[in-house]
Every structure is written in structure tokens, then in C-alpha cells.
Structure 1
């Protein structure tokens, strides 16, 4: 058997997330269906993580196994020929058998896009931003600073996934302008993320930027390890998985 690594981009708007679900349209299901059309055999696709319904990706990583004689085909072009327009394979390659899209990963990068014009949101951007209104960037950056480093992020994890530990290390939180004058992009880099962790952190930072949560209160939320202390989860459409890092 050969192992094929894929880098996948998708618009998550019309998907019920990455993971297979009965009678639901999922990215994993679409990719597996495309593989079967080529090999005429079922293949289980393993992703680096499970993006939620409405969340996008520019660099999701996945792998699957196939018979050796399929190694030489151009998988990127072949799969894209069977993909809907909201999913594309960016890269494909044969990898060693010990590579695993999820368990071999050493870090991930997510970006979350905020829209700041409270009067309107461009129709072309509504699927990819959270219209949060005006916020104070300096306060948000001060709040973000306390989340850097290694912490127990239990207060920033929604239910649904069993993990061995809720400790993660955030190496960077940065901000830059978006593609329009009304947007900012917040970039999060860490050795791993808990379920909806970035969305909960983003909701906390926005609450700080609106003056509804102080930096000191955010510190207490972090130390509490209690999800009920943090604000509601930010909406999914502003979030995108940008890349996954491997050794």
C-alpha cells in the first residue's frame, strides 16, 4: 500500500464541517467520494483536525492509503477533476507509511477575520468575516499577550472532543490589515488547538476590545479552566485553517 498526503483548501460555508456525518455534506466525504471515483475502491481519508461547520481552510492536510499502482497518477489534477467548486486539492505527494496527518502534526496556524463597519458588511465578504463592529486594537493586543505561552486552555474548549490534556502552547498572536479597509486578520500559531479554541479566544478578545471584558478578567478566565466563565463562541465563518506544520 502507498500513502498519499493531500493539502486541501475549501470554502466551509456549505459543509457540515470536515468530519463524516450521516446524511450531511462534509469535506471528508467529498474527498473520499472523489478518490473512489478514481480507484473504484473505498479509502478512508484522515485529516489533521476537524474543522467545524462553516469554517474554511487554506491548508488542511489529509492522507489516505491506496494500492501501490496508483502512486504515479497526478493525484492533485485527478481529484480536482471530481471535486465540487468549493473544494480544491492544492498539493499531493507520496509519503512514508509512518506519516499521519493528525498525529505527526507539530503545530497549526489559524486566521480569524473581523469586519469593523457596523453599518454594513459587503455581500462578497459576509461568508468570511465576523461583523463585530468597532473595537480597540490596543486593548485586544494587551489581552492577547496574556494568552501567549504554555497554559491550560480548558476555559477555551467547547465540549465534543475527548483529549488527553487541555494544555497547549500559543507561540504567536498577531494582527494585520485585511483585504478591505474595514477588516483585520488575527493570526494564531500554536502547537495545537482544542475544539473551537480559536473562536472562543477571538470572542474574548473582541469582548475586551468592546470594553465588555477587562484584561484582568480574561486572566481570571484563563486561570479558572472553566468554559462557562468565557463569552459565547465567535461565529465560524471568520475562521480559516491556514497551515499545518510537520517535522
Structure 2
């Protein structure tokens, strides 16, 4: 059966995350996509996503793959799917791919961005669903936040920054970058997180730590101790989902690399 690689953008506000839920568990991105594919293919189609974004988390470039019947392979998939999908999810690219491509296990890295609203006293209403309003803590100590961010770069055990509910073989992860990037709005601060993979709600927990440091509640050295401890109960709280967006999934030069990364990520329980 031909395999398709789909790149998706969605507003996570009204979704109970990416992953299918038990009956009554809520509307999901995967569920909406599989319903549209079934209508086009005349049979159920299972979709595999690169990452299981949580309820309320957004995506600019989530990647998924699926296998479709040979006799339906010539469908103009992007246009056909977008005609059936709800307004808060869109296929931005659809293309055939080798049958050994796997949206999750072929991935070599992921990039998330978290947006903070830092203007005290007000928030633009149309940005409310996409930022965490931390204006009450401002001005933030940006130098201390940068020092804290540097602690997360490298290969570390991030057990203290993983929320419960995910079975993984190891909580060690290689983080390539945690840094501030330019924002289009002077009222916002955007943090970018690049890694081979992330634990459950890890980016939101790291963001919670950054804000705790920036607001003077804890110091970078306190966060260093938390990271070393491996104890989630010692870490600051989890940042809200609404400020988080998956902006890219990386696949290396050839877009595949499946064997090496499948073995590596299965061993790591990586998401």
C-alpha cells in the first residue's frame, strides 16, 4: 500500500490532544484526520503522528504518515483532506514517501516554541489562546532565565521535568538548544527548545522552571539541584498548554534514517 507523509497545522484549543481517546474522551487531531481519510478511502486508515501533543497544544508542522489503498493513491490528498477537515486543523503538505518512513521513529529531532506574554496589565484578546500571561511577574530577570536555560542543554536525565503518565525506558534526553528567539510582538517572549526527543510535558515543565527563575521564586542553582535530584516534586509547576507549539519535526538529510533512529529511540522510549 502506498505510504503518505502528511504535514499538519492545528489550533489545539478545542482538541483533547493529538492521540485518539477512549469513547467520550474528547475530540482529537488524529481522530479528525482518520475520519477524513476513511471517507476518502472507503475503509479505516490508521494515522501515526511524530508526537503526541497534549490537550491545548498547537502545531505548525506536526508530521504524520499513513498507508492508503493503491486504487486511491492518485487522490490530490492535501486538497481532498482539507475539504473534509474542520477549520482548526489543516494539511499543509501531503506527499508519497518510502514505505520504511515512520513519522515518529524516523524523526531525528523536534523543535517546540513556547510564548510568554510579558506586557504587564493587559493582554491582547486574540493572543490569549496562544500565550501564557506572566505579566504579573514582570519585569523578568532575563539574565537569570538565560543562565537557567543553559543548564538544560546537553545530555541529562530529565526525570524531574517529566509528568506522570508515560512509560519510558529512560528519562535521559539530548537537548540541543534552549534559547530566546525574536518575537514579532514587543509584548511577547518566545523560547525555542530543540532536542532529539522530549518526555511527557517536558517542554512545559522546563518553561515553568524558566519563569520561576525569571520571577525570582528560585535561582538557577536551585534548578540545577532539581535537575540532579531527578525528583519531579521538587521542580516548579507546569506551564499552561496554550503557550506551546510544535514548529518542526526533523528527519535528517534524506528524510528517513529509520533503522538507526528506530533502534536508538526504542531503546530510549523516546517521544
| 5+ residue gaps, structure 1 | none
Residue in structure 1 matched with residue 238 of structure 2 by the alignment: 233
Q: Does 1:92 align with 2:94?
A: yes
SS in 2 for 1:146: helix
Quote the Cα distance in structure 2 between the aligned partners of 1:177 and 1:65: 39
CA shift digits 1:127-157 (9 cap, x unpaired):
0000012111111001100110000001110
Give CA deviations for 1:91-140 in whole Å, capped at 9, x if unaligned. 11111111111111110000000001231111000000000121111110
Q: Who is 2:187 aligned against? A: 182
Which residue of 2 is the match for residue 169 of structure 1?
174
Aligned counterparts of 1:163 and 1:96: Cα–Cα separation in 2: 28
> Secondary structure of 1:181's partner?
coil
- 1:81 paired to 2:94: no
- Structure 1 consecutive aligned stretches of length 4 or more whose deviation exceeds 3 Å: none
Partners of 1:170 and 1:239 in 2: CA distance? 17
Q: Give the counterpart of 2:164 among 141, 159, 162.
A: 159
TM-score by length of 2: 0.89
Equivalent-residue separation in structure 2 for 1:130 and 1:102 (angstroms) = 28
The yes-or-no answer on 1:136 pairing with 2:141 is yes
Question: 1:245 corresponds to which residue?
Answer: 250
Please give the alpha-carbon distance, in whole angstroms, between the structure 2 residues aligned to 1:199 and 1:245.
Answer: 20
**Greater helix share, structure number:** 2
Question: Is the CA contact 1:177–1:183 (under 8 Å) kept in the aligned structure 2?
Answer: no
Following TM superposition, by how much is the alpha carbon of 1:178 offset from its aligned partner in structure 2, in angstroms?
2.3
User: What's the counterpart of residue 262 of structure 2?
Assistant: none
Q: How many residues align?
A: 247
2:257 paired residue number: none
Partner of 1:51: 53
Query: Partner of 1:175: helix, strand, or coil?
Result: strand
TM-score, normalising length: structure 1: 0.98
**Cα distance between partner residues in 2 of 1:213 and 1:230:** 10
Which one is further off, 10-19 or 171-180?
171-180
Given that 1:150 and 1:167 are in contact with CA atoms closer than 8 Å, whether structure 2 keeps it comes out as: yes
Deviation at 1:74, TM superposition (A): 1.3
